Amino acid sequence: METALTLPTLEELANLAEKAANTAAEVSLSHFRNPLQIDFKGDDSPVTRADRETEQVLRDIILKQYPDHGIFGEEHGCEGLDRDIVWVLDPIDGTKSFISGNPMFGMLIAVLVKGKPAIGLIHMPALGETFIGQVNRPSLWNSRPLKTSAITELAEATCFIGEADKMLSARPDIYQSMTDHCRLTRFGYDCYTYGQLAAGHIDIAIERGLHPYDFCALIPVIEGAGGVITDWQGQPLAPDSKGDVLACSTAELHQKALEIIHQ
């Protein structure tokens, strides 16, 4: 008679995510601001030995503990994506920041349970900050509760546009509308923007063309802090989403931002 597999609790998975992040961060930090060969992928995005080694440490820790889990990693590919639990890894989110000595690079770890993000972790190795979200629990920043702002009006909102140079080139209408309607518009880069939103420091984050390893970890963090994060159609983000992301501090603000996108 076969014994049914017992799935680990979300708390156990979250604890392992934090442990893996802290251990793997030592690898990325050991290379930070040190000479590195920079290679370029097919999409012209940079990658280094630090990216690859950091992800390998994450994979080794996860699969040692849970060899039956799936992995979707940016640098070393995918395995077991049909399994009940899949880890989604971006070892260095912000390689351009990393290679230019900017400490705003991060690490993203998401745990999908039956295809849905159940745990999300944003770790900032050079800043010593960790944002973690778990379904049905408040999100935390270095063990302190997170809460998005209460802003509901675009005219009062601070908006970060992710890689705004690309937005300005591809969708100048959205760039201009956000600039015109929001109180303050700034260029945003990489995952720290979403930690700032979860902490209530900014109110809107908008970005286009992200990959699952860029956005899956953001979902539990934003939602657990009281915010809303979807695609540009207002639909829940999923691993097969196009990757156009809108995150807002409140449902009211999110609806108004959607209207700006589609006006």
Could you report the per-residue pLDDT of 154-202, keeping only the tens digit for each? 999 999 999 888 888 889 999 999 999 999 999 988 999 999 999 999 9
What is the rounded CA–CA span in Å between residue 172 and residue 157? 20
Q: Is 214 labelled as part of a ligand binding site?
A: yes
Average pLDDT rounded to a whole number, residues 235-257? 96
Could you report the per-residue pLDDT of 98-152, keeping only the tens digit for each? 999 999 999 999 999 999 999 999 999 999 999 999 999 999 999 999 999 999 9
Average pLDDT rounded to a whole number, residues 68-89? 95
Kind and range of the H or E element at 198?
helix 192-198
Per DSSP bridges, beta strands 116-124 and 129-134 are antiparallel
Q: Is 74 labelled as part of a ligand binding site?
A: yes
Q: Is 92 labelled as part of a ligand binding site?
A: yes
- The whole-number pLDDT of residue 26 equals 97
What is the rounded CA–CA span in Å between residue 73 and residue 247? 23
Q: Is 90 labelled as part of a ligand binding site?
A: yes
- The whole-number pLDDT of residue 163 equals 86
- The whole-number pLDDT of residue 140 equals 98
Phi, psi of 238 (to 5 degrees): -140, 165
Closest CA relative to residue 53, chosen from 71, 29, 27: 27
Contacts of 197 (CB under 8 A, 6+ apart): 148, 160, 203, 204, 205, 222, 225, 227, 247, 248, 249
- The whole-number pLDDT of residue 3 equals 40
Confidence of residue 6 (pLDDT cuts 50, 70, 90): low
Q: Which domains does the chain have, with CATH numbers?
A: 10-144 (3.30.540.10), 154-261 (3.40.190.80)
- The whole-number pLDDT of residue 42 equals 76
pTM of the model: 0.94
Confidence of residue 7 (pLDDT cuts 50, 70, 90): confident
Q: Is 18 labelled as part of a ligand binding site?
A: no
